[in-house]
Homo-oligomer: A and B are copies of this chain.
Amino acid sequence: MTFEVTILGSSSARPSIRKHHSAHTLNAYEQFYLIDCGEGTQVRLLEQGINPLKLQAIFISHLHGDHVFGLFPLISTMGIMGRKTPLTLFAPAPLDEILEYHCRYFDARLPFEILYRPVDTCRHAMIYENKVMEVWTIPLRHRIPSAGYLFREKVPPLNIRKETIEKYGLGVAQITAAKRGEDIVLGDGTLLVNNELTYRPFVPRSYAYCSDTQYSARVAKIVEGADLLYHEATFADRDKALAKETGHSTTLQAARVASMAGVGKLLIGHFSSRYKDEQELLNEARTLFPDTWLAREGERYQIPLHRVE
């Protein structure tokens, strides 16, 4: 029941030898999701031992090159590897047009289908779900339409408290009803409220990714209580005018969102290449939100499962 984020790239628009363009993966129950896809993402996946054919879906935050230029070569390589499984791609428009144009020249005979799902960057809405997880959009405030993504584990089904089975002599039908959330009335008329019979085996986990964005109180509300928040912090606080002008956040603004939202842990990244000492940026964010960490490439951030009982 893994729920783990792996940072593949965390640079801002100008990459360096050690810092690549934005990309990371979420491993949710051994299903892999790619979030943003800057140049070189396919090689970063190889470095992390993640087979591109295992990617279930790709989520692109916005159509700036440093978040999407790795997509075209990645798709090519998946074609060469013989991918047959359709690939679901969430991204703001018009990525479908751009991809179609690209494929016409570079991948006319792709052996798998790309299921493009346009993302409305103005709405906070559920865009994907499977048995264990939902994905919601987070409207961001950048220079072009941009969305973050909130990955939220579903509330687990109710478990029966084993000791109550013997205590009240519950039959199969009663146990099934209790697991559905119903109260039970025993043969002698005793009412057993559901709460007494069942429990949720764990607390659902969540991960929020806030790509390029200005400070936004609305974002803070949406990511409330997330276990892990990645929030861009392109600038130091002293450069907040520049942050506003370019549609980005400062360290303190990222920390303020984390603090208002009461998240568990904050990862900051996407630093402007003008800052040589990232520790300073980290220290600045920590003055407001102590549990802040640098999004380091190649590092994995596991969100542990908190079992109940």
A interface residues, Cβ below 8 angstroms from B: 13-17, 20-21, 39-40, 42-43, 46-47, 63-66, 69-70, 72-73, 76-77, 80-81, 94, 98, 101, 105-107
Q: Are A73 and B69 in contact (CB under 8 A)?
A: yes
Q: Are B106 and A39 in contact (CB under 8 A)?
A: no
Q: Are B15 and A43 in contact (CB under 8 A)?
A: yes
Residues of chain B within 8 A (CB-CB) of A77 are: 13-15
Interface pairs (27), CB distance under 8 Å: A13-B77, A13-B80, A14-B77, A14-B81, A15-B42, A15-B43, A15-B46, A16-B43, A16-B46, A17-B43, A21-B73, A39-B70, A40-B40, A40-B43, A63-B105, A64-B106, A65-B72, A65-B76, A65-B106, A65-B107, A66-B73, A66-B76, A69-B69, A69-B73, A69-B76, A98-B101, A98-B105
Residues of chain B within 8 A (CB-CB) of A14 are: 77, 80-81
Which one, B17, B65, B72, B80, contacts A47 given CB within 8 A?
B17
Among A14, A39, A94, max chain B CB count under 10 A is at: A39
Residues of chain B within 8 A (CB-CB) of A69 are: 69, 72-73, 76, 106
Residues of chain B within 8 A (CB-CB) of A15 are: 42-43, 46, 77
